[in-house]
Amino acid sequence: MIDLPTAPARAGTAHAAPRPAFGQAFRDDPYPAYAALSAAGPVLWRDDVFQGAWLLTRHADVEFALRDPRFSARRTGGWIKRIDGSAAGAGLEAFQRLFGQAMVFLDGGEHERLRRAMAAGFHPSLVRALRPQIEALADELLDPLDAQRGFDFIEAVARPLPSRVMSLLLGIDRRDEARFMAWSDDLAAFIGALQPCEAQLRAAQRSLMQLARYFDALLPARRAAPGTDLVSRLVQAEGRGELRADGGLVAQCAMLLFAGHETTRNLLGNGLYTLLTHPGQWERLRDEPALMAPALRELLRYDSPVQYTGRRVAAEVTLHGRTLRRGDLVLALIGSANRDPDRFADADRVDIGRRDGTHLSFGSGVHVCIGAGLALLEADVVLAALMRRWPRLALLDPAPQWNGNAGLRGLARLRVRAR
C-alpha cells in the first residue's frame, strides 16, 4: 500500500478556512458553513481536519479533483497512522492493509481490474431484475407498521432494507443483518469523522476485522461451488487473477457490504425528510410518479449522503493560485459543490423537476459509485411504496435527530405518521 508523505501544516496562511465551522451546528446543518467557506475562496487550508487538509468548495474544482489522476485515492495509510502516534506498533497493520485494499482506495490498473471484476454484478439489467425482490423486502418491512400511531422510518425501513438488499446481492445469510449493521455503524463513525479519534479507529478496526473473518469463513464454500451472487463472481475473478490473493477479495466483500448499507440508508432517510419538509414537492411526486428519476437526482443534490471525499495529491498542482504539494490531503466537499450557485440556479431550493447541473453525490470519473443504480432502485421502490400506502405522510417529530457524522450525513431517527 502506497502512503504519500504529508506536507507540513499551513496554519495562519492567508488562504486558511474561516473558523469555527465544524462543530455540532455543522453536523446538524452543514450548508450555511459551506456557503461561508465558498465565499471565502474555492481552495482553503484547514489544519484541524485530518491533521491538515485543503478544502475544495466549488463544483468545478470538486469535479476536477475527482477526475484528475494527480489526485490519488490512496490515502488510508497516513489517515490511520496519524490518528495516534503509537498506531504503527499497536496491531493496526492488518487493519490498514485490509482497509487499503478496498477498490475505493486504489488507483490505476489495480483499480481498473477490480472495477471490471465487480461491474458485471452491477450491470443495469441485473439491477433492474432485482426490483421484484426489493419490492418484496420493502413490503415485508412496511406491512407491520402502524402509520396512524407513527413509526421511526430509520429504524423500521431505512436501516434494515439496504442490509437485506446487500445480503441478497452478495448471497449471504440475512439472519446476520444485526451484526452487519453494527459493523457498518463502527466503520461509518470512523470514515465520516473530520478528525477521527483513537476510540473510533479501534472500533472500526474491530468491526472490519470481524467482517473479514466472516467472509473468510464463507469463501471456501463459494470456491467449491460458486453461484450467481456477487461473492461468487468475485471468487471467479480471483481465480482468473483479477483480484489479489492476499486479502483483496475479502476487502472488496467487506467494503461492499458497508458501502451498500450505509450510503443507501442515508439516501432513504435524507430523501424522505427533504420531501416531507417540502410538502409541495412530496405532493407533486405523489401525483406525478414519472418524475421519480429527476426527483431522486434532486434529493441527492440537495442533501447528499456523502458530504465529502478525500484525495492525496500525487503530483504538485496549482489551483486558483494555491500550490497543492505532493502528499497534501484534499477534501472535495461534495455537499458544498452540490449547492454551488454557479452550477445550480437557486441552489438552496428543492425542485424535483430540476434540469440544470449534475450532482456529485455518487462521485465522478473512474471512482464514480459502482452501486449507484442499486441505490437509486432501492430509493425508487421505498418512496413509491410510501406514497401508495400513505399519500398524506407527515413528520411526527418537530426536529429530526441527525447522526452527527460530518462525512456520511444521515438521520439517526425520523418519526413519521399518516395524516
Q: What's the whole-number average pLDDT of the chain?
A: 89
- What are the structural domains of the chain? 24-418 (1.10.630.10)
H/E run at residue 152: strand 151-152
Q: Is the peptide bond before 341 cis (omega within 30 degrees of 0)?
A: no
Q: pLDDT band for position 271 (50/70/90)? A: very high
**Residues near 130 by beta carbon (within 8 Å), at least 6 away in sequence:** 165, 168, 169, 374, 377
Average pLDDT over residues 200-207: 92
Q: What is the pLDDT of residue 309?
A: 95
Q: pLDDT band for position 9 (50/70/90)? A: very low
H/E run at residue 199: helix 198-224
Q: List the single range of 110-119, 233-242, 325-334, 336-345 with lowest mean pLDDT.
A: 233-242
Q: What is the pLDDT of residue 246?
A: 64
Q: Give the Cα separation of 304 and 281 in Å (integer).
A: 17
Q: What is the pLDDT of residue 10?
A: 54
27 vs 333, higher pLDDT: 333
Q: What is the pLDDT of residue 7?
A: 43
- The fraction of the chain above a pLDDT of 90, given in percent, is 64
Q: pLDDT band for position 12 (50/70/90)? A: very low
H/E run at residue 248: helix 248-276
Query: What sign for the dihedral angle of Cα 151, 152, 153, 159?
Result: negative
User: Residue 41 corresponds to which cell in the numbers above?
Assistant: 475562496
5 has a pLDDT exceeding 50: no
Q: What is the pLDDT of residue 20?
A: 64
Phi/psi zone of residue 150: left (φ > 0), alpha (ψ -120 to 50 degrees), beta?
Answer: left
Q: Which of 63-77, 80-94, 110-124, 128-142 has the highest mean pLDDT?
A: 128-142
Q: pLDDT band for position 397 (50/70/90)? A: confident
77 has a pLDDT exceeding 70: no
Q: What is the pLDDT of residue 228?
A: 87
Place of cell 426490483: 131
Q: What is the pLDDT of residue 354?
A: 95
**Residues near 275 by beta carbon (within 8 Å), at least 6 away in sequence:** 281, 282, 285, 299, 383
Q: pLDDT band for position 247 (50/70/90)? A: low
Q: What is the DSSP letter of 373?
A: H
**Helix residue ranges per DSSP H, 104-159:** 108-119, 124-129, 131-142, 153
85 has a pLDDT exceeding 60: no
Q: What is the pLDDT of residue 8?
A: 44
Q: Which of 268, 258, 76 is nearest to 185 (CA)?
A: 258
Q: Which of 42-51, 81-90, 220-229, 279-288 has the highest mean pLDDT?
A: 279-288
Q: What's the predicted TM-score (pTM) here?
A: 0.92
86 has a pLDDT exceeding 60: no
